[in-house]
Structure 1
Amino acid sequence: MSQKIIFDTDPGIDDAMALLFAHAHDNVDMVAITTVYGNGVIEDCTRNACYINDTFNMGATVVQGAAGPLTRDPVGPTVVVHGEHGLGTVEVPLDYPINIDPRPAHEYMCDLARENPGEITLVAVGPLTNLALALQHDPEIVNNVKEVVIMGAAFGEGGHRGNVSPVAEANIHDDPHAADQVFCADWPVTIVGLDVTHQTFFTGDYLDELRRSAGEVGEFIWQVSRFYLKFYSEKVGVDGCHVHDPSAVAYVADPSLFGVRKGPVRVVTEGPAIGMTIQKSDERFYHHDEWSCFRSQQVCVEVDNQRLLQMYKDSINSLA
């Protein structure tokens, strides 16, 4: 039975790759796309979501969300990674029709979860502002959603500690206060972070092969990946890119791909380590312990990367 998801995203090159994956996989039913600032400003992210949804006949409801973080000053779009408007050298016309639900994203999330109790999974691959606003708007959402799956954070497994600071991953760093609220809330959260996304890699050859085999969808993925791969080549020195946002979709489609570690998670919200995520994974009593009073959450620490890559390829090819 397919999993109904609301996909909360800031498209974004790897977000676009993940949206197509969610659309393609039989185990995932993407009923809505909610947008958030992050890889671009909210207007660009919403326009990109509408364009992808329309172009590939996804049939999802698009809903616009937060334009900035809860408390901290905005970090700004990651233009160096995703280009001026989020999709690299693929630019959606600025006058592209924006057909969206009139509600703010956090209100839409609460309404849909209330109408479908126990059925909706929130999959968030950008800053977690919309989810934190949903918690504030209707605290009962923790009882109405099935689960929350996020792409973000880094816990140091295999040396994967951060990508925008030595200790912080970008989505968490963009709104650490929201992330701390989401991780501490009484709902089940699975965190698919750099600990596993850095273990899976779309090589240049892999993307070339998708271009040949997956028709219009493969061509689009190849085109948007050009800017991304240029960044990885110049800044990281590799031919390809890590599989960030699609890994969150992969978890929803098949959790057996991942090994997890359990324990409450907190986020550093100020100072030089802002955005750092820390999990208490032992049962020890500490005199100073602001973790143990919160729900234990799952952090992905292992991944069957070859099986994930094959799943992605098979799913995208099915759209051809």
Structure 2
Amino acid sequence: MAQKIIFDTDPGIDDAMALLFAHALPNIDMVGITTVFGNGTIEDCTRNACYLNDRFNMGATVARGAEGPLTRDPVGPTTVVHGEHGLGTIEAPADQPINIDPRSAPVYMSEMARAHPGEITLVAVGPLTNLALALEYDPEIVNYVKEVVIMGAAFGENGHRGNISPVAEANIYDDPHAADLVFTADWPVTIVGLDVTHQSFFSGDYLDKLRDGAGDVGQFIWDVSRFYLKFYSERIGVDGCHVHDPSAVAYVADPSLFITRQGPVRVVTEGPAIGMTIQKSDDQFYHHDQWSPSRAQNVCVGVENERLLQLYWDSIVSLA
């Protein structure tokens, strides 16, 4: 039976790539898309989600979520990476119908989880504000959600520590207080962070072949990736892009692609290291320990890159 997911997202170029991946996978049933600020404003992210949902007949319910972080001042959209409205040089039509559920994203998550106990996985690839608000709205949601899988964070594995600061990944940096609440809540979380997403790479050649082999979907991915690849080329001198958000979807589809380790996770919420994620991965006793009272969570530390790329290829081509 296909795994039901609610996809919490701030589309976003790689978010669009991940949404199409989730839509294509036969063992994933994307019942809902919830939007959050991040790569764009909440207005742009919600319009983009509705545009992708309609254009590619995803059939998901869309619910609008948080427009800013819980506590910290907003960082602002990452236009340098994702363009003025989030999808690079592609812009959702100004008259795109905004067909959204009347419930807010946190309420939608809670009610769906209660309606399908033990069946819903929350896949979050933006700031974790909606999930934190869902915990606030319904603390018992932890007993109904099957799993939480997030793309975000960095723990220093494989030399990867941050992309928005020397120690912080952007999704966590955007709302560190929300991330700390999500990671310390009593539900199972798997973190797919830069430790593995920087180990996988969509090369320019890979995307060219996907354009030629996957019909309209392949052409869209190629088109939307042009702005993204320009950023990567100018900033780090490579032809291609890391596989960020699609990696979280890949974990849900096939966890065997990843090596994980367990331990409680905390997030730095103030000062120059704000957004830094730290996992306690040993059993040692410490006199001062604000990790051990929280449940152990999964952190991905290794990935089979070639298998992941093949899974993405096969899935997207199947949509053609």
2:75 is aligned with 1:75? yes
Within 5 Å, give how 1:97-136 maps onto structure 2: 97-136=97-136
What's 1:256 paired with?
256
Q: Deviations over 1:252-309 (max 9, x none)?
A: 0000000001000000000000000000000000111000000000000000000000
Q: Deviations over 1:176-232 (max 9, x none)?
A: 000000000000000000000000000000000000000000000000000000000
Structure 1 CA distance, aligned partners of 2:207 and 2:273? 35
Structure 2 CA distance, aligned partners of 1:93 and 1:271? 40
Structure 2 CA distance, aligned partners of 1:230 and 1:116? 42
What's 1:175 paired with?
175
What's 1:226 paired with?
226
Structure 1 runs, 4 residues or longer, greater than 4 Å off: none
What's 1:50 paired with?
50
Partner amino acid, structure 1, of 2:68: G
What's 1:243 paired with?
243
Q: Which runs of 5+ in 2 are unaligned?
A: none
Structure 2 CA distance, aligned partners of 1:317 and 1:152? 27
Q: Deviations over 1:54-86 (max 9, x none)?
A: 000000000000000000000000000000000
Structure 2 CA distance, aligned partners of 1:83 and 1:303? 29
What's 1:96 paired with?
96
Partner amino acid, structure 1, of 2:55: T
Instruction: Tell me the C-alpha RMSD between the 2 structures.
Output: 0.4
Q: Which runs of 5+ in 1 are unaligned?
A: none
- More moved, 277-286 vs 91-100: 91-100
Deviation (angstroms), 1:95: 2.1
Q: Deviations over 1:22-62 (max 9, x none)?
A: 00001110000000000000000000000000000000000
Identity, in percent, stands at 82
Partner amino acid, structure 1, of 2:228: Y
2:142 is aligned with 1:149? no
What's 2:65 paired with?
65
What's 1:216 paired with?
216
What's 1:195 paired with?
195
What's 1:271 paired with?
271
What's 1:300 paired with?
300
Partner amino acid, structure 2, of 1:4: K
2:31 is aligned with 1:31? yes
Deviation (angstroms), 1:2: 1.1
Q: Secondary structure at the match of 1:127?
A: coil
Structure 2 CA distance, aligned partners of 1:28 and 1:197? 20
Q: Deviations over 1:139-192 (max 9, x none)?
A: 010000000000000000011000000000000000000000000000000000
Q: Secondary structure at the match of 1:140?
A: helix
Partner amino acid, structure 1, of 2:93: P
Q: Secondary structure at the match of 1:190?
A: strand
Structure 2 CA distance, aligned partners of 1:20 and 1:121? 17
Q: Deviations over 1:98-148 (max 9, x none)?
A: 000011000000000001000000000000000000000000100000000
Give TM-score scaled by structure 2 length. 1.00
- More moved, 138-147 vs 91-100: 91-100
2:192 is aligned with 1:207? no
Structure 1 CA distance, aligned partners of 2:248 and 2:158? 19
Structure 1 CA distance, aligned partners of 2:161 and 2:186? 26
